[in-house]
Structure 1
């Protein structure tokens, strides 16, 4: 049997809506965070909660100190959704104009200036692999990853086309203690917590 492109798109859309409805039905009743990727539903337990959330808090505050008042480093809901691509994410921090958050439902990824993710100990590949694929796919121009397991991270920019789909062309690695530039703004990374048992990071 041959499936026409329009039929394939409708089938993919129905599958996405089914996953979306499932996520909405369990999101408030099951611990952790549910997101939808090109490979299906991801359940991130975001463990350990304390140091993950402390890292997110400190990054948000440091970004907002150097950004104009009309730009925010937002944490929490709403989700970022690109239904045609079948992706729904909830970044740890999204850099966005406050005016662009005045919407009903999910945020348009085209409105986002940058996304920051703090790697969770329970599912590091979600941040280092899946999101590195999904964010350029939906047009997020800057993706910054902070990894409390290692005290290091990377900032990815410059989306370009590849045979496997859109990917970031530029990656700048850093270790905690160095200043890091995310979009137009530079922040310090000293004093960010590490997960228990993680090696301490020293600037190169």
Structure 2
């Protein structure tokens, strides 16, 4: 069975979810697909969304009319067997959705993830593996746990596995520049020490 065939079966199964998981309503969860597995994620909580909102209100006015900012939208590469749901994606405004009504990686310019308290490995490991494999040119991780951000760019397979050639680390208070877009991280709140995402 090919990776794409496995992916399509998992995608069909994912799309059959009609009821919540563990007694919670369906809206409380969404799922991603990577490495032949369905990964069930809880939906972002208010602290996470507050950071995402401040990022969005800074970034969106800077985008050219040919670009759009999508929030929590499926991004899929069936050939790789990957479906991810980035917190934010800068995409071509006129992209054609995939057959499954998702964003195609070739139309993405920047993906942003806001790290959650209890699933940081998803952003720092899983997505840091999948996004360069998908050819995403820029990936920004914003981490309100410790007030840092990392910009990764220039995807490559030079080392034998998909990775980014370049990275730059920031502390909250710095201005992050990606493709000429500027994000002032001084306006981003950190999580409370006792926050539960």
- TM-score category by the smaller chain? 0.7 to 0.9
Of the structure 1 ranges 91-100 and 11-20, higher mean CA displacement relative to structure 2 is found in: 11-20
TM-score by length of 1: 0.84
Matched positions, count: 187
Give secondary structure in 2 for the equivalent of 1:150.
Answer: coil
Which has a greater percent of helix? 1
* Correspondence 1:98 to 2:89: no
Q: 1:177-198, CA deviations, whole angstroms, 9 ceiling, x for partnerless residues?
A: 1100123311211121222207
Specify the alignment match of 1:26 in structure 2. 17
TM-score by length of 2: 0.86
Distance in 2, Cα, partners of 1:46 & 1:154: 23
Give secondary structure in 1 for the equivalent of 2:15.
Answer: helix
Conserved? CA contact 2:48–2:116, under 8 Å: yes
Give secondary structure in 1 for the equivalent of 2:20.
Answer: coil
* Correspondence 1:17 to 2:12: no
Of the structure 1 ranges 172-181 and 92-101, higher mean CA displacement relative to structure 2 is found in: 92-101
Distance in 2, Cα, partners of 1:151 & 1:129: 19
Q: Which runs of 5+ in 2 are unaligned?
A: 22-27
Aligned positions of 1:72-151 closer than 5 A: 72-77=68-73, 79-100=74-95, 105-151=101-147
- Cα RMSD (Å) of the superposition? 2.0
Pick the structure with greater CA Rg.
1
Change (3 A) 1:70 1:18: same
